[in-house]
Amino acid sequence: MRKVELSALRSTGWSWDSLLEALDPALEAVGLTPGGSDVEVDLLDRGAHGRVVVIDHGALGRRAALGLAKRTGTPVSVFEVVATGGGKRFNFRTTAWLATAGGELKSAEGKELDLESDEAWLGTLEEQAQQVLDAFAGFEYGPARSERRSFKKRKAGKPSSPRVAALLTSLQKAKSHEGVPQPDGRVELRIELAAGGKQRSFCSAAEFDELQALIGG
């Protein structure tokens, strides 16, 4: 099954120049360094809709939003789309967050969409994922200017707590796993065990993002 993840980070408090100044240090703090081709980042100037950073990775997008919010002292709206395909139609899941300058990640809302429609979204899986992201974030027109940056992932360090270490061990032994955001801000870990069977665990959004970084997700 193919999978596409996109995150749009938006703030009307950024100018184009302030975003360019803050981007590299903020992303370096979450394990990304300029160069390479691990993660593609698009910078968009959407005028009255604010300046936007689009990252092709959900967990990294949330960590980047927190880093940019702290560094620039302005809240950052986060809009995520996970698109999957492999059968006769594509499936989409949308989630919204608000990263605060104080380092909190709060549940938020985007535009209400009919994700089951076969007529609303057209093209390849990647093209449809971008269309859903634009609609979910409420982007009604194209950017006034844009710039693409490429980053590589820095080798992850050690788990920050015994709980994260235990969850990491479970994920490393698993056949596959999926993180499903919950209304209360936690993340449900749906784990398919290599030996057969399934397991469910819950963790905070920050712990999930750390786990994704540690396993290279």
pLDDT of residue 217 exceeding 60, the answer is no
Residue 216, pLDDT score: 61
For 92, other C-beta atoms within 10 Å of its C-beta total 21
**Which position has the higher pLDDT, 104 or 82?**
82
pLDDT of residue 133: 95
**The tokens 């990304």 sit on which residue?**
32
Q: Is the four-CA dihedral 151, 154, 155, 156 of positive or negative sign?
A: negative
- Torsion of Cα atoms, 103 then 105 then 106 then 112, to 10°: 140
What's the confidence (pLDDT) of residue 83? 92
Q: How far apart are the C-alpha atoms of 213 and 207, rounded to whole Å?
A: 10
Query: Rounded to an integer, what distance in angstroms lies between the CA atom of residue 133 and that of residue 93?
Result: 10
pLDDT above 80: residue 29? no
Using a pLDDT cut of 90, give the percent of the chain over it: 43
Q: What are phi and psi of 153, to 5 degrees?
A: -85, 135
Domain ranges of the chain: 2-153, 162-214
Percent of the chain that is helix, strand, coil (3-state, to 5): 30, 40, 30
Which pLDDT value is given to residue 170? 87
Which pTM does this prediction carry? Answer: 0.74
Distance (Å, whole) CA 203 – CA 100 = 20
Q: Between 129 and 89, where is the model more confident?
A: 129
Least confident of 13-17, 94-98, 167-171: 167-171
Terminal CA-to-CA distance of the chain, rounded, Å?
A: 16
Nearest to 67 by CA among 108, 101, 33: 101
Measured in residues, the chain has a length of 217
What pLDDT sits at residue 156? 64
User: In this structure, what DSSP letter does residue 1 have?
Assistant: -
User: What does pLDDT average to over the chain?
Assistant: 87
Q: How many CB atoms lie within 10 A of CB 102?
A: 10
Sign of the CA dihedral 56, 111, 113, 187?
A: positive
Q: Per-residue pLDDT averaged across 127-144, rounded?
A: 92
- Listed in order, strand segments (DSSP E) in 86-197 are 91-99, 105-108, 145-153, 174-181, 186-193
Per-residue pLDDT at 135 exceeds 90: yes
Percent of the chain beyond pLDDT 70? 97
